[in-house]
Amino acid sequence: MKALRIITMLALSLSICSLKGMSFMPESNEKPINAVLEFYPNYVGHLLGVAQIGYNSSYAYKHKESIYPKDLQYLMEHSDLLQWSDGDEGVLSYFFLTFPGYVNPESKIQLAEYLTDLNTAVAQRSFDNFKDKYKFHIHELELWSGFNENIQIFNYSEEIQEISKIMMNNYDGFKNLVWPQYDLHIQKIATALNDKFNEWNLIKRWEELTGLQFEAPYYNVVLSTGMENGPTGKALGYEKGWYYYGGDPEIMIKSICQETGLRILSGLCSDKYKSYDPNLCFEVYTTLSCYLTDQIMADLGLESKFKKSSVTSSQLYSIFDFLWEVNPNLEVRQLYDVALSTYNRTRYAISI
């Protein structure tokens, strides 16, 4: 460990000698973060939760009777198709969770229409008509992840038909019996969150801290039931994320702040793919978002409430800390570039 620290500090010293500190504080229009309720993410989160796809919970036990037994058994037996944790996405997750979560069919009729469009595309083994119909949403997604035209789903025609039927069969039961138990409570949480988001103006803080722009007029935070003990959140698009409403509010707020930063910083990462290993670029990028999130939390006076990121002991986090301690006016683009170069050289030195 001592040798590793010496190598790291040496690399940092060599890098920082060539830097001139600069800061850039742009004028930015207020771009709100909005906590919102949308029916479809709540419905599909309910199906995931009760079927215990990836996680167990008291929610699953409480609402077990809300899904027809045969449908519930099928979902549980095919859970691998709908996994949605980071790094463990099922082959059908995108078209049943992520993309419709972004589109948000707002009624049973709209959901039936979407599922018909999906099944038709699979039957025709072509997304051409599907992409034409949803071209607005697909265009908007280009800012973040793009459209996942995964032709593997053409091999799952029967499973897609069955899951589509399950979604239609259990829609009314959720809407009439389960959803009324949660919607007013979630709305109260959304109102409280929005009061804080308006006070903190997190997007503007990120823009002023980084000198970069958030490329959408808002960021919508969709609060959802059913995901107790599951992932804290999931990106649906650049301007839209999906979060479990009932977890630790401090962890959720910090996660939302960090996700905002990931969007603002995304260009720094992709710009370096030709020069460095993309996995390395991504690691530095996500750690930088953690690091800057901690700075924003501290600036808001929330340092005592929000524990520092779990990466605080990592080598990368220490590199960011050292660079800003030496030059607190360092532009964030330079901070990323120097940390990436330093971490790359350090890893190479260790390997030899």
User: In sequence order, which residues have a C-beta less than 8 Å from that of residue 248 and are 6 or more positions away?
Assistant: none
How confident is the chain (352 residues) per 10-residue block, as mean pLDDT?
A: 41 42 43 95 94 88 95 96 81 95 96 98 97 96 91 96 98 96 94 94 95 95 86 88 86 91 92 87 92 91 59 74 88 92 72 44
- pLDDT at residue 271, rounded to an integer: 86
Kindly tell me the burial class for residue 46, based on how many C-beta atoms sit within 10 Å of its own C-beta (0-12, 13-18, 19 or more): buried
Helix (H, G, I), strand (E, B) or coil at 84: strand
Q: Which residues of 71-205 form beta strands (DSSP E)?
A: 84-85, 88-89
Q: Note whether 40 and 351 are within 8 A (CB).
A: no
Kindly tell me the burial class for residue 308, based on how many C-beta atoms sit within 10 Å of its own C-beta (0-12, 13-18, 19 or more): middle
Going by C-alpha positions, the residue among 267, 174, 260 that lies closest to residue 221 is 260
Q: Which residues of the chain form beta strands (DSSP E)?
A: 33-36, 84-85, 88-89, 219-224, 233-237, 240-244
Which amino acid belongs to residue 254? K
Instruction: Please list, residue by residue across 2-35, b when 16 or more beta carbons sit within 10 angstroms of its beta carbon and e when fewer do.
Output: eeeeebbeebbeebbeebeeeeeeeeeeebebbb
Q: Cα torsion at 33, 217, 148, 169 (round to 10°)?
A: 60
- For residues 184 and 313, what is the distance between their CA atoms, to the nearest angstrom? 41
